[in-house]
Structure 1
Amino acid sequence: MEECPFCNPRKDPDQNIVFENEFCYYLQNPKHQDVLEGTGVIVPKAHRKDAFALSKKEWEATQNLLQKAKRYIEETFNPDGYTLGWNVGEVSNQFIFHAHFHIIPRYNDEPYAGRGIRYWLKQPENKRT
């Protein structure tokens, strides 16, 4: 997995390791801070294709970093809410096939405020034919 940006975050200048524990990293990509500041991902250190491949210890480590990241984001960026989630498969817009849990702080003054995960479920034009 030499070319996977999440397998070797110390070698990738686009990955900033904010926190880590035995099983996972919490990363913030500086390029993603221009749109919604504070955005980051939690990734397992071992290459796992998607969230369904995580071990119990990796799930626990993810939850641990989620709480730590939340405290950090709130102290640093003071968001009004969050959108959290996993993309699994190309149809879900997963384009790095190493499991990564998105932590997206949301702000009342952003143009897409109020458009979370449920927004996409309620769009009639997204109905399968």
Structure 2
Amino acid sequence: MSDHTNCVFCGIVRGDIPAIRVHEDAATLAFMDIRPASPGHTLVIPKIHAPDLLAISEADLCAVTIVAQRIARAVHQALAPDGIRIMQTNGAAAGQTVFHYHVHIIPMQDGQRVGTHGHEHAQPEQIKALAARIAAALKS
């Protein structure tokens, strides 16, 4: 479990900051992005704080990767996108904005502009509905 006090994702892991959770296990947490690049945009993080790919342990990296694959499969089943973009950035120059290792799972439609985040917050009701569909697909 993470205890990094100034990290927003650590705050989500601790339950101090609300998030729409899709999946949780002992090592990882998957939750909906509040500024999604597309509907269904989900993040997967390790519960232990690691700022980036260079700092994460192999065990936590493997755990996140396995869950990212499961979430991507569930997104594919639940939302039927034309493609799924899996993205991970390291350092501000690469576009990283939260310095806690995380993987973006972004459903994509043909002709959609490729971006890391949307410009506006999505409606919570829409995010919750998409999260429920993805979580249901995880169970099937």
Q: Who is 1:76 aligned against?
A: 78
Counterpart of 2:103 in structure 1 is 101
Q: What TM-score do the two structures reach when normalised by structure 2?
A: 0.70
Question: What SS does structure 2 have at the residue aligned with 1:105?
Answer: strand
Q: In the alignment, what sits opposite 1:16?
A: 20
Larger radius of gyration: 1
1:91 is aligned, of 76, 90, 93, to 93
Alignment gaps of 5+ in structure 1: 117-129
SS of the equivalent of 2:9 reads: coil
In 2, distance between residues paired with 1:19 and 1:84? 17
TM-score normalised per structure 1: 0.75
2: CA distance, partners of 1:85 / 1:109: 18
CA-CA distance at 1:24 after TM superposition: 1.3
Q: 1:62 aligns with which of 53, 64, 71?
A: 64
Unaligned runs of 5+ in 2: 116-140
Runs of 4+ in 1 over 4 A off after TM superposition: none
Alpha-carbon offset, residue 93 of structure 1: 1.4
Q: After TM superposition, list the pairs within 5 Å mapping 1:11-50 onto structure 2.
A: 11-13=16-18, 15-29=19-33, 31-33=34-36, 35-50=37-52
Using the aligned pairs only, state the percent identity: 26
Secondary structure of the 1:66 match is helix
Contact 1:23 1:57 in 2 (8 A): no
